[in-house]
């Protein structure tokens, strides 16, 4: 008699277990997505990778399922090749790409990236951040194709927008050096940001000349055991290296790359002003260590950080190496300044990479949400960690201005940033320009000859696409 209720109970429990198991296995699997971001391999990308873990929580709240983020890093030297190979293959292996601003035309015209116009305009928070709180020149160069249109194809990503000048404060403030410089040139060495803002490129050449010394001579009261140089710049023909540093001079001389309507470079990139600018630029190499035509970023960072030159010009993203006591002998005697003007005209070459979404992504909605999260939720923290920003409100925030030794100068300099071509044949124009500018600084051909050849060859390229 007692066994029957026990059996009934056991049977009931078994039925419940079977029912629960059946219900569980009939449920749709929990959705989980991984988006892949293709990025250059450098510190700003590593910082974003660290922060991206917070996006998973954000996406869970917004979408109801988990979205993981994976970064795919490629060294700068081969990054453009990697991007073009992926999109040409129409590969879905990446969802978001950090694209140089000059690639937007090539990527969009090729059908490789999607328009973000409706996504930006229909989201009030993102629309305000991109269209109202981004520096105007960065809206123009980072977000739209064609430039100036409302076809937004990107949002600002790495806003490493303008190179800055770094200099040895111990040399510029040394009483003996200051007295000797003024006696020779008739004006004072700059030591404050305001003084640097008033400096002409021609005066910068004076400074470079002044600090170039031979072994055995005295520098700041000490006898040099090896040669010392006034300046080092990145001048190799790799990717866009020499163009980025020459064009700040070129534009400040009042020169232009081409006719904006016909896109004919003849008479523009080889104008009298352009030739004067390149002649000046080549002359500046007389105050650099031997072999400047081969200098890449690693070389220039090393030259400055090892205390072998008085000045350099580099992107803010590279500044940490100059201020790190583990990598720099001059970390505690380095000042930051804006690049010079010339006769009142100042431009700097635009850097940085906007974020785009691949047309071949299988996770476009999740990728869009990441863009919104990055530029509206995470962007201030990111800016504080890297010391550069595309958003005006962040740039004006005391937290940002005091975040890094270079942040305040970045805020002064970013408005002068100007980009070069944004057309589908960008890469071909760049290749010609890199080759012959590099030949000029190597003193294989004259500055005038280099620019005449560039003008001719670039015009032939332009005509192929007319």
Cβ–Cβ contacts within 10 Å for residue 130, how many? 27
Q: Which domains does the chain have, with CATH numbers?
A: 32-161+351-418 (3.40.190.10), 164-350+424-464 (3.40.190.10)
Residue found under tokens 């029912």: 19
- Give this prediction's pTM: 0.92
Cβ–Cβ contacts within 10 Å for residue 132, how many? 11
Give the CB-side neighbour count of residue 301, counting CA atoms within 13 A: 16
Sequence-separated (6 or more) residues with CB below 8 Å from residue 334: 166, 167, 168, 169, 322, 323, 328, 405
Q: Which of 349, 344, 352 is nearest to 247 (CA)?
A: 349
Q: What is the pLDDT of residues 103-160, one digit of tens each?
A: 999 999 999 999 999 999 999 999 999 999 999 999 999 999 999 999 999 999 999 9
pLDDT for position 76: 87
pLDDT for position 24: 46
pLDDT for position 158: 95
Q: What is the mean pLDDT of each run of 10 residues along the chain (466 residues)?
A: 54 60 53 97 96 97 97 93 97 97 96 98 98 97 95 97 98 98 98 98 98 98 98 96 98 98 97 98 98 97 98 97 97 98 98 97 98 98 98 98 98 97 95 98 98 98 95
The SS3 call for residue 275 is helix
pLDDT for position 18: 55
pLDDT for position 124: 98
State how far the Cα of 210 lies from the Cα of 220, in Å rounded to an integer: 12
State how far the Cα of 419 lies from the Cα of 426, in Å rounded to an integer: 12
């Amino acid at each position: 008699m007692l066994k029957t209720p026990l059996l009934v109970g056991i049977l009931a429990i078994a039925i419940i277990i079977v029912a629960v198991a059946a219900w569980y296995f009939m449920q749709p699997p929990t959705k989980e997505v991984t988006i892949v971001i293709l990025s250059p391999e450098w510190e700003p990308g590593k910082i974003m990778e660290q922060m991206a873990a917070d996006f998973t929580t954000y996406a869970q709240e917004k979408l109801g399922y988990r979205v993981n983020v994976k970064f795919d890093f490629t060294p700068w030297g081969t990054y453009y090749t990697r991007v073009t190979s992926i999109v040409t293959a129409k590969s879905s292996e990446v969802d978001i790409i950090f694209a140089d601003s000059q690639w937007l035309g090539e990527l969009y015209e090729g059908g490789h990236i999607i328009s973000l116009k409706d996504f930006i305009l229909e989201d009030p928070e993102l629309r305000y951040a991109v269209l109202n709180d981004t520096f105007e020149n960065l809206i123009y160069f980072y977000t739209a194709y064609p430039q100036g249109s409302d076809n937004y194809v990107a949002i600002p990503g790495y806003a490493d927008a303008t190179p800055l000048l770094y200099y040895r404060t111990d040399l510029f403030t040394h009483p003996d050096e200051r007295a000797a410089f003024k006696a020779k040139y008739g004006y004072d060495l700059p030591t404050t940001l305001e003084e640097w803002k008033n400096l002409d490129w021609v005066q910068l050449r004076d400074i470079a000349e002044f600090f170039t010394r031979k072994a055995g001579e005295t520098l700041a009261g000490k006898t040099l055991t090896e040669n010392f140089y006034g300046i080092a710049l990145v001048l190799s023909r790799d990717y866009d290296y020499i163009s980025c540093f020459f064009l700040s001079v070129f534009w400040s001389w009042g020169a232009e790359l081409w006719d904006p309507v016909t896109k004919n470079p003849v008479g523009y990139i080889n104008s009298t002003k352009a030739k004067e600018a390149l002649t000046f630029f080549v002359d500046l190499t007389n105050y650099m260590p031997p072999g400047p035509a081969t200098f890449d970023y690693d070389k220039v960072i090393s030259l400055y950080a090892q205390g072998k030159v008085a000045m350099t010009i580099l992107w803010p993203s590279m500044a940490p190496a100059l201020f790190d006591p583990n990598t720099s002998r001059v970390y505690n005697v380095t000042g930051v300044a804006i690049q010079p003007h010339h006769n009142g005209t100042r431009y700097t070459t635009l850097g940085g990479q906007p974020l785009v979404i691949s047309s071949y992504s299988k996770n476009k909605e999740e990728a869009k949400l990441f863009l919104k999260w990055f530029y509206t939720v995470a962007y201030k923290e990111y800016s504080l960690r890297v010391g550069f920003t595309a958003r005006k409100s962040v740039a004006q925030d005391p937290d940002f201005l005091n975040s890094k030794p270079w942040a305040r100068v970045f805020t002064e300099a970013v408005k002068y940033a100007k980009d070069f071509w944004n057309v589908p044949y960008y890469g071909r124009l760049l290749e010609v320009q890199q080759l012959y500018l590099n030949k000029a600084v190597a003193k294989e051909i004259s500055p005038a000859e280099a620019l005449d050849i560039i003008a001719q060859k670039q015009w032939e390229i332009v005509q192929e696409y007319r």
